[in-house]
Chain A
Amino acid sequence: MKALLIDDEPLARALVKEYLEESYPQIQILQECGDGFEGVKAIAQHQPDLIFLDIQMPKINGFEMLELVDNRPAVIFTTAFDEYAIRAFEAHAVDYLLKPFSQERFNKAVDKWLAQKDLTDTKKHTEALLASTATNPERQDRIVVKIGNKIKIIPEQDILYVEADGDYVMIYTPEGRYLKNKTMQYFETTLDAKKFLRVHRSSIIQLAQIVRLEPYEKDSHIAILKSGAQIPVSRSGYAKLRQVLGI
């Protein structure tokens, strides 16, 4: 069994390592990572069965990191922040260890994982559950995307519009476009509802980017953005727009 430690504090990693060696010599630690970027890379490289993940980390936090991971391993959160517990369980983490934790508490978490692992293929299980909860994300003021093996953080205000693209969503920014493996509904709830509006089944636009609205065919419109992009607006989208813009 393979595990990864992702925590920005060396001593915190040392402790998990010590606890693991003490009780679970069969679990092998493949790598220790100091931030989420490293974590994403290491997970892609090693395909671990289990990760111990801190939440507050440099660059991107634990939740954002999980969003970027394709083949999700089982997760045990280790953090001093108890306010994330609910969110962690919504993300169907195996367990949530509050620092400082004892060897006994740690063992309980790992035993829980071992039991789950025997029952089902946890990897698939967790992934399915994460996908289901992805429709109910917390509001964030930035979106993280992966381009090849690079990670890009897009501040919310840089997002001109997003468009559904098959099973993915394409994010358009002044610098270029980025694909993210999420649903439109995810973006609808994540982005600030005061600044963004879903004007069509397949598009969400930043209101401040709209230059004008033009009629298009019968019953529908198109929004023309500052960048020149033309975004289809459905009939219900047009009604919402009129309400929001007060026209």
Chain B
Amino acid sequence: MAGSQFLTGKFRYIFWGGWLLFGACQTALLYWFGFNWQIAIQDSFSSNILLAIACWLISNNLYYYRPKHSSRYLYIALSCIILAVLWLALIHYLLPMLPDIGPDYVLFLFKSLPIRLFTGFLLISWLAMISLLWYSQQDQIENDKRQADIEKLAREAELFKLRQQLQPHFLFNSLNSINALIGSQPKDARKMIQQLSDFLRSTLKKEDHQWVTLAEEIQHLALYLDIEKMRFGHRLETNITFDEETATKKLPPMLLQPLVENAIKFGLYDTTDDVTISITASTVDNMLSVSVQNPFDPQTTPPRKGTGFGLNGVRRRLDLLFGRQDLLLTQSPSDHIFNTTIKIPQA
């Protein structure tokens, strides 16, 4: 349904103003034909008010009913003809009843019926057409708006889902490790609970629209890595490097985490040796560039499989945020090293 009815909306004044003008023209025409002003005004205004009502009727009807199929347009044409005929019958019956008319005028009225029918039909169908156009345009605008809303909602849901990438397995495995530590190393258990709480709190606190500095994001990731170190302490080594200028650069929150999770998954969970996971950040051409490097086991993980769902999510998110698909780069510089680089344009 359109937002407002065509003839009760803002076009009301144009409609009645136009009609006044049309009536005035008809009056002038009748006067030109040799009738006096009184007859001209009487004829033109009574017939035009009736015609305007007919137009208003069809336009209003179209507000409630619009044909879905093009074949139905025939009904509208038919309605226009019927309305025009009814209108003609009405003026043929009513106009001779007006005061101070002579036999000349009655004859003229009779002779002019075909031309009156023709103009009446033209006006009614013209207005029906304008109404149809107006209403379908309104519908279009409304549909577009709805579509935009849907897209916005979907995007929000998607971002939310992407954030849920914070794998519950990580949480449960960490709780299990804490459970193990409680018996033998209660101090470490306490420390790990603290790290896990800090990590969860900073995860929950993040808001999608609020960009954070690299230093803040790294601090958050360090908590995550520390927890993993606690679980696989003897095996995991981390190496984080960035300069002071880069530390203040900003990025959307939770963008790096899937990269690091991916590195942990392939570098730590799927290997048995000692591993080093490196995070290197730098500023290149007003872009923040962050690389995450991890080893992987080529025997169990073919390099092409190195792009898990986590990375597809990041690529999708970068596309949503910047409308670019070249901001995430993955490469395998040697047969057991995997490197992911992400670039974030700075405002």
Contact = CB atoms under 8 A, between A and B. Distances in A.
Interface in B293-342: 297, 299-300, 302
A15 B180 contact: yes
Contact of A100 (B176, B183, B233, B302): B176
B172 A35 contact: no
A45 to B, nearest CB: 18
**Which 7 residue pairs across A and B have the least CB separation, nearest first?**
A15-B180, A99-B176, A80-B172, A100-B176, A11-B180, A11-B177, A100-B175
B232 interface: yes
A14 B176 CA distance: 11
Interface string A155-182: 1000000000000000000000000000
A34 interface: yes
Interface string A1-33: 000000011111011001000000000000000
A186 B173 CA distance: 32
11 contacts: A11-B176, A14-B180, A18-B183, A34-B272, A58-B269, A58-B271, A59-B299, A98-B172, A100-B178, A153-B300, A155-B302
Contacts of A56: 169, 269
A15 B269 contact: no
Contacts of B230: 11
B142 interface: no
A12 B272 contact: no
B270 interface: yes
Most chain A beta-carbon contacts within 10 A, residue among B178, B180, B183: B180
A76 B67 CA distance: 67
A60 interface: yes
A12 B184 contact: no
Nearest to B173: A80
A101 B173 CA distance: 11
A81 interface: yes
Nearest to B175: A100
Given A60-B300, A80-B172, A100-B175, A14 B184 contact: yes
A61 to B, nearest CB: 10
Interface residues of A, number: 22
B32 to A, nearest CB: 80
Contact of B299 (A8, A14, A34, A153): A153
Interface size class of B (residues with CB under 8 A): 20 to 34
A164 to B, nearest CB: 28
B248 to A, nearest CB: 37
A9 B169 contact: no
A80 B183 CA distance: 20
Contacts of A58: 269-272, 297, 300
Contacts of B297: 58-59
A100 B181 contact: no
Contacts of B271: 58
Nearest to B270: A58
Nearest to B192: A11
Interface in B151-183: 168-169, 172-173, 175-181, 183
B177 A59 contact: no
B234 interface: yes
B288 to A, nearest CB: 33
B202 to A, nearest CB: 22
Interface in A59-109: 59-60, 80-81, 98-101
B231 interface: yes
A155 B301 CA distance: 10
A101 B180 CA distance: 10
